[in-house]
């Protein structure tokens, strides 16, 4: 994931660049050229990235709790009956994998200051994300039609729970992307505004890749873990 941590060369040029007096708080370059520097700049985009990583830690713990319960529960009774995977889940998986690529293209476009391209790929990512959610819903509908309900078997309970929990978090990601998309229309005037935009796009990208990885883990756990 190291690639997702952007540098902010472009921005630095805009502020005048050049080495500044040593300062900052000594964490993660915050005190060097890219860091906060006294009165001139009290904001570092690292804040958004850090926030999203911390948030990811808590989401990881939520899913650790749920997947541990899944493993424990699968062994605690003899009523465990896995379902046949709805084929449409392959489509979901493909959509979310592709969306990660498009999100990355979008983020890199912003870094290269290609605003139109950034907005375009952001839009494609949002569409792919919505497509993923639609595809998940189709999977649910298919299962319901087969009589596979939430409470009919512990495996089903976990299947619905995992897909729902992941879907809710992904919907949050789509909302974040939507927010970025709305804001592409406006030109940043201040340096800090630009920094915030870069920071927000970076953190949304990190979150999006995480949602992608999380789905792959859940997918493997639900259908290939024995």
73 touches other proteins by CB under 8 A: yes
- Among positions 5, 10, 15, 31, the unique one binding other proteins when judged by CB under 8 A: 31
The footprint of other proteins on residues 148-207 (CB under 8 A) is 150-151, 154, 157, 161, 165, 183, 186, 189, 193, 196
Stretch of 54-62, 92-100, 128-136, 214-222 lying at the interface with other proteins (CB under 8 A): 54-62
- Among positions 11, 46, 89, 218, the unique one binding other proteins when judged by CB under 8 A: 46
Instruction: Choose among 153, 169, 21: nearest CA to 81.
Output: 153
66 touches other proteins by CB under 8 A: yes
- Among positions 1, 3, 13, 62, the unique one binding other proteins when judged by CB under 8 A: 62
Structural Rg of the chain based on CA atoms: 21
Residues that bind other proteins (CB under 8 A): 19-20, 22-36, 38-39, 42-44, 46-47, 50-51, 54-55, 57-59, 61-66, 69, 72-73, 76-80, 150-151, 154, 157, 161, 165, 183, 186, 189, 193, 196
């Amino acid at each position: 994931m190291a690639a997702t941590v952007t540098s902010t060369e472009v921005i630095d040029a805009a502020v005048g660049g050049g080495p500044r007096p040593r300062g900052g708080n000594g964490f993660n370059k915050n005190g060097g050229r890219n860091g906060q520097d006294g009165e001139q700049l009290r904001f570092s985009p690292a804040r958004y990235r850090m926030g999203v990583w911390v948030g990811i830690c808590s989401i990881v713990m939520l899913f650790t709790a749920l997947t541990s319960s899944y493993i424990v529960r699968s062994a605690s009774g003899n009523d465990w009956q896995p379902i046949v995977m709805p084929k449409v889940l392959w489509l979901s998986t493909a959509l979310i994998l592709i969306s990660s690529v498009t999100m990355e293209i979008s983020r890199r476009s912003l870094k290269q200051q290609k605003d139109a391209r950034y907005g375009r790929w952001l839009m494609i990512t949002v569409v792919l994300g919505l497509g993923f959610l639609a595809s998940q819903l189709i999977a649910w509908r298919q299962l319901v039609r087969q009589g596979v309900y939430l409470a009919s078997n512990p495996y089903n309970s976990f299947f619905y729970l995992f897909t729902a929990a992941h879907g809710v978090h992904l919907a949050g990601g789509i909302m974040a992307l939507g927010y970025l998309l709305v804001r592409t229309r406006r030109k940043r005037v201040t340096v800090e505004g630009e920094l915030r935009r870069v920071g927000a796009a970076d953190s949304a990208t990190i979150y999006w890749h995480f949602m992608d990885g999380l789905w792959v883990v859940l997918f493997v756990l639900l259908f290939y873990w024995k």
